[in-house]
Amino acid sequence: MTTPQHKIGSGFGARSTADEVLAGIDLTGRLAIVTGGYSGIGLETTRALAKAGARVVVPARRVEQARDAVGELGEVDELDLGDLASVHAFADRFLATGRDIDIMVNSAGIMASPETRVGPGWEAQFATNHLGHFALVNRLWPRLVSAGGARVVSVSSIGHRASDIRWDDLAFERGYDKWAAYGQAKTANVLFAVELDRLGADTGVRAFALHPGGIRTPLQRHLPTEEMVALGWFAEDGTPLFEFKTPEQGAATQTWAATSPALAGMGGVYLQDCEVAEVSTDDAPGVRPYAVDQESARRLWTVSASLTGVNAFTR
Ligand SMILES: NC(=O)c1ccc[n+]([C@@H]2O[C@H](COP(=O)([O-])OP(=O)(O)OC[C@H]3O[C@@H](n4cnc5c(N)ncnc54)[C@H](OP(=O)(O)O)[C@@H]3O)[C@@H](O)[C@H]2O)c1
């Protein structure tokens, strides 16, 4: 059953780090896949999970750079989430190893990129952040089930508040807005967790989505300095005006989602600051109602399965 979208008193908070939420948790013998696990909060997640004993697989579109970043922390293999053929090729290689997946953290993403089309004309943020992960999880599903009690973690964002799913124009054919496109993709990340959790709960696999906080990483690569000043993140002289999390703090909520015993028996919820978030319709922190709407979650699943041609739950 879907967990109520209310705080549970986790004992952790916005400044908790990935190592702190993993204290006392032994992941020896567990396998984790961390997309985007070679940069930003993904790399920090890889580091923390590996330190706790997990074997970490890092799919990467820039394999050489990923090997340099990941080093001995995990195995790197090629995957471009914006290319369905690449997703299938990675899944084929992984499935051929016969290994189970205990933890899957979908951290890869792009933000506020210029209008870009991938595959059959898909908008790149929706394709990379949502459709690629949708196809990947569905292809790997048998190995999540066979692990027994696996968790799938969708790294969304407070940016989901910029847009609900644009059901009549998913691909922004009627005028591109980079922030609305990010918002739609990040809403899709939450709805994906809601529906995956409903579909998979009987198998013991549980799904979560989350906002990691604001962290300075290469994610901001598409934002000119003037825009970050206008957004109130920095003063004109470059001084941060916003209390950014460190990467260690930024990785904490996804690491907590992937491993915390406090979340046992729960799923299908949006987390932030190592807590279950409240639903919010105003400026207060939390998740917008449209992002956890069960009907929308089912509808997005059907649309995504139709677009990608992949669905582990077809009977
Ligand atoms: N940083 C924040 O403040 C913040 C706030 C809210 C939410 N988030 C979310 O947190 C997640 C991680 O962000 P981050 O800050 O760690 O950003 P980051 O440092 O830019 O890391 C993103 C990772 O995703 C990978 N990636 C991008 N496109 C890909 C593709 N087509 N195929 C495979 N991998 C791809 C990147 O690879 P390349 O290096 O090869 O491009 C990189 O490794 C994102 O989903 C983001 O939306 C971040």
pLDDT of residue 20: 98
The atom number, within ligand 1, closest to the CA of 43 reads 16
Provide the pairing of β-strand 275-276 with 269-272: antiparallel
- DSSP string for 288-306: -GGGG-HHHHHHHHHHHHH
pLDDT of residue 139: 98
Nearest CA to ligand 1 atom 20: 219
Nearest CA to ligand 1 atom 11: 107
Mutate to test the pocket of ligand 1, among 34, 57, 61, 104 (most ligand atoms within 8 A of CB): 61
pLDDT of residue 103: 99
Bridge partners of 117, per DSSP, are 123
Q: Does 37 sit in the ligand 1 pocket, CB within 6 Å?
A: no
Q: Flag whether pLDDT at 98 surpasses 90.
A: yes
- Contact (CB, 8 A) for 66 and 43: no
Q: Mean pLDDT over all residues of the chain?
A: 96
Q: Over the stretch 137-195, which tens digit does the pLDDT of each residue have? A: 999 999 999 999 999 999 999 999 999 999 999 999 999 999 999 999 999 999 999 99
290 is catalytic: no
- Contact (CB, 8 A) for 179 and 162: yes
Q: Over the stretch 249-299, which tens digit does the pLDDT of each residue have? A: 999 999 999 999 999 999 999 999 999 999 999 999 999 999 999 999 999
pLDDT of residue 4: 87
- Contact (CB, 8 A) for 125 and 300: no
Which of 42-46, 203-207, 282-286 has the lowest average pLDDT? Answer: 282-286
* Distance in angstroms (rounded) separating the CA atoms of residues 307 and 250: 32
CA of 292 to the centre of ligand 1 (A): 22
- Quickly state the pLDDT bin for 242 (edges 50, 70, 90): confident
Q: What percent of the chain has pLDDT over 70?
A: 99
Whether this model's pTM surpasses 0.95:
yes
Which of 75-84, 95-104, 225-234, 297-306 has the lowest average pLDDT? Answer: 225-234
State the amino acid at position 218 in one-letter form.
P
Calculate mean pLDDT across residues 47-52. Answer: 98
Q: Flag whether pLDDT at 222 surpasses 90.
A: no
pLDDT of residue 221: 87
- Quickly state the pLDDT bin for 1 (edges 50, 70, 90): low
pLDDT of residue 2: 65
b (16+ CB within 10 A) / e for 161-175? bbbbbbeeebbbeee
CA of 1 to the centre of ligand 1 (A): 30
CA of 168 to the centre of ligand 1 (A): 27
Contacts of 312 (CB under 8 A, 6+ apart): 137, 138, 139, 141, 142
More confident residue, 3 or 197: 197
The atom number, within ligand 1, closest to the CA of 189 reads 45
Q: Does 188 sit in the ligand 1 pocket, CB within 6 Å?
A: no
Q: Does 216 sit in the ligand 1 pocket, CB within 6 Å?
A: no
Q: Over the stretch 25-39, which tens digit does the pLDDT of each residue have? A: 999 999 999 999 999
